[in-house]
Structure 1
Amino acid sequence: MISGRQVLDERMMTLKDRVLKYLIRNKGSFVSGEKISESLGISRAAVWKHISSLRQDGFEIDSASRRGYMLIGDADIINPQIISDSLRTSFIGKKIIYMDSIGSTNDHIKSIAGGSTDGTVVIANEQTKGKGRMGRYWHSQKGDGIWMSMLLKPHIAPNKASIITQIAGAAIVKALDEFGVSAMIKWPNDIILNGKKLCGILTEMAAEIDRINYIVLGMGMNVKSDNFPDEISDIATSLYKEGHAIKRADIIRSIFENFERLYVDYIKNDDLKEVVEICRERSAVIGKDIYVITWSEKKKARALDISQNGDLLVEYKDGRKESLVSGEVSIRKADDE
């Protein structure tokens, strides 16, 4: 099920989108209805209609006689126009498809991957069938988080794609740093804050033997969630629960910018130096006793380091060492045998 679709694409923008874009460009200043109508080629009555609709969406728009309209604020609204305002990327997020409600952003972007451009992003206000690694359900409450998927079409060999999950992890912690949030990375795909899971990353790939058709990079972050289901209440958290009030659009914009920079360094220059440094410095597992989890078993080990290629080096109880390219680990509790 899909509802409330909005697309950020100059060719597909509605008149309401164009009015909002005009207000954003003049944020903090009054612009007359007459000037907006002349610039957009619509009547003043149509301007008023779209202003009223934007107010209903949650935008704070002041109005004054003989002065016009002024965008004051946007509350915590995920809107393609708000995200694109001052976005400094060359291709990530240049096309945004926003849904008020969707089954899964990963599933939707896979369904349109063939005809979509590199860097297209699908964002939802709610996921009803969100998923994590190994087919697990991902709690995605409406209006409480960031649920989005990026479409990537890199010209690299399929066996070099697994590191993209860690590039995303590094980008997320760098983005959160900008807002005073110091998060950690639990290799390979979880972002941890104060010992609890804040964000998960799910990477899926469609490829042939020697080439990648596309990669879908899904991210789910708990931003405003206050109550979690009983089964995850002890292991999950949100920015709000940890004392951080940050607008989702600002976080998304920062993730886009940090990800593009680190991703392009890898795709174009085969440079992972900064990514590996971040993953080491912000690792939640290095030096810890862990379980290495596969579909059929979980084995006790100790996490030793992260290699220059992003692999996790572990040592098992029998002294055998292994370099993990992908997989899942969990941190062992002090009372585990």
Structure 2
Amino acid sequence: MMQSKNNRIEELLTLLKRERKYVSGARLGEIFGISRAGVWKLIKELKTKGYRIESKPKKGYLFLDFPESLDLYGIKEGLKTRLLGKKLHLMEEVDSTNTWAIKEALKGAEEGEVFLAETQTQGRGRMGRKWFSPKGKNIYLSIILKPEMPPQKVPLLNLGASLALAYFLEKVGLEPELKWPNDVLLKGKKVSGILSEAYAEADRVNFVVLGIGLNVNTRKEDFPEDIRNLATSLLIETGKEFSRNELVKRILEEFEGIYFLLKESPQQLLSKWCSYAKVEGKMVEVESFGELIEGVVQGIDEDGALLVKTQKGIKKILAGDVKVKGWGDSYL
């Protein structure tokens, strides 16, 4: 059966990584039904993309390491998802991965398509803020989702994405905390943020673009001075660099599980999210659309809104900045 060149490269990469030893060109040629010269051309393409593959006469080829840059083959290889990332798109530079994904969604792109970039010139955070997007250091990705939910439930996707990141960070030995509505913190500093943008009608969602920014290999001195003491990265917290290709896979896998859980049991998702936020019962100040609200957090409602008990009663807050009183400038 004929294979496309891309499929052959992906399968070759999977095989070399799995073997963890030299594999001869003759054997690879037999497996893929091509000549040894054809194998060499595929290996050469992988090397051009930054993969470290050692070639030795009479021994063959040995996989050593992934490239430092993002690479679609490296992300697809071993990706264990049913929906997210089945179609991946990568650009060196974009204005914003969310803007790019929205344009493609309006053209009919499918649910689960993922858009990645090495850098963003106009990366967006929540409430119009700019997202720091240095080249080749972090992860900037956007996912097209087409959930069957009313528009008021869309904020649950933010909570789900931040919960997925919390799960992933725990698995690399870190202790994340979640900040309503969409930030992930390590030791009180932001390591990740989520931005969802929905295109919806009165009673249904056409599509949502969910953007995730994760600070991976950024050093403290690389951050702009105004956020240097507010932001962190995996490198800062662990002292080691990470393969961004591997991290993209793990993020997509964690979020897909939560996305399916959200369809079946949104209350379970909310309960798990609250266990990482640890803000219930705290006295807070919330700045929401120019209004300053003070009160005690009662929890999160079924739509993902923050419930704050004020002197005038329970206030349902859909968006805003939350500051826990008595904790200095610690925004949780």
Partner of 2:286: 292
Structure 2 Cα separation of the partners of residues 145 and 17 of structure 1? 27
CA distance in 2, matches of 1:213, 1:148: 20
1:133 aligns to 2:133 (yes or no): no
CA offsets 1:176-228 (integer angstroms, 9 cap, x no match): 11111211110010001101010000000011122211100000010111120
Aligned residue for 1:195? 188
C-alpha contact 2:13 2:77 (8 A) present in aligned 1? no
Contact map agreement 1:88 1:257 (CA 8 A) in 2:
yes
Identity, % of aligned positions: 34
Letter of the 1:243 counterpart:
T
State the Cα distance separating 1:167 from its structure 2 match: 0.9
Q: What are the residue-to-residue correspondences of 1:92-241 with 2, within 5 Å?
A: 92-113=84-105, 114-226=107-219, 227-241=222-236
Quote the offset at 1:53 in angstroms: 4.1
Aligned counterparts, 1:40-119, within 5 A? 44-45=36-37, 47-113=39-105, 114-119=107-112
* Aligned-partner SS, 2:251: helix
Give me the TM-score of the superposition, normalised by structure 1.
Answer: 0.86
Distance in 1 between the 2:155 and 2:149 partners? 11
| Post-superposition CA distance 1:227-270 (Å, at most 9, x none) | 20011111111011112533222322222122112211222x2x
Would you say the 8 A contact 2:14–2:78 is kept in 1?
A: no
Cα distance change on mapping 1:21 and 1:251 into 2, 3 Å: same
Q: CA deviation at 1:328?
A: 3.5
For residues 266 and 20 of structure 1, the distance between their equivalents in structure 2, rounded to whole angstroms, comes to 32
CA distance in structure 1 between the aligned counterparts of 2:295 and 2:237, rounded to whole angstroms:
30
Q: Which runs of 5+ in 2 are unaligned?
A: none
What amino acid is aligned across from residue 236 of structure 1 in structure 2? A
Q: TM-score, normalised by structure 2?
A: 0.87
Sort the Cα spacing of 1:292 and 1:195 in 2 relative to 1 into closer, same or farther, 3 A: same
Match of 1:272 among 266, 276, 280: 266
CA RMSD of aligned residues (A): 2.5
2:253 to 244, 257, 260: 257
Q: Is the 8 A contact 2:150 2:203 kept in 1?
A: yes
1:24 is aligned to 2:14: yes
Return closer, same or farther for 1:252/1:119 CA change in 2, 3 Å cut-off.
same
Aligned match of 1:306: 300
**Cα separation, partners in 2 of 1:136 and 1:197, compared to 1, 3 Å:** same
- 8 A contact 1:292–1:298 mirrored in 2: yes
Counterpart code for 2:91: M
Deviation, 1:331, is 3.7
Task: Letter of the 1:189 partner, please give it.
Answer: N
Give the stretch that moved more between structures: 214-223 or 168-177: 168-177
AA partner of residue 307 (structure 1): D
Query: What amino acid is aligned across from residue 84 of structure 1 in structure 2?
Result: K
In the superposition, relative to structure 1, how do residues 237 and 287 fare at CA in structure 2: closer, same or farther (>3 Å)?
farther
> Residue type matched to 2:287 in 1?
I
Aligned residues: 322
Distance across 2 between alignment mates of 1:100 and 1:88: 25
Tell whether the 8 Å contact from 2:288 to 2:317 is kept in structure 1 after alignment: no
Q: Which runs of 5+ in 1 are unaligned?
A: 1-9
8 Å contact 2:285–2:295 — kept in the other structure?
Answer: yes
Q: Deviations over 1:18-49 (max 9, x none)?
A: 33531322321333334445655666445434
Return the structure number with greater helix share. Answer: 2
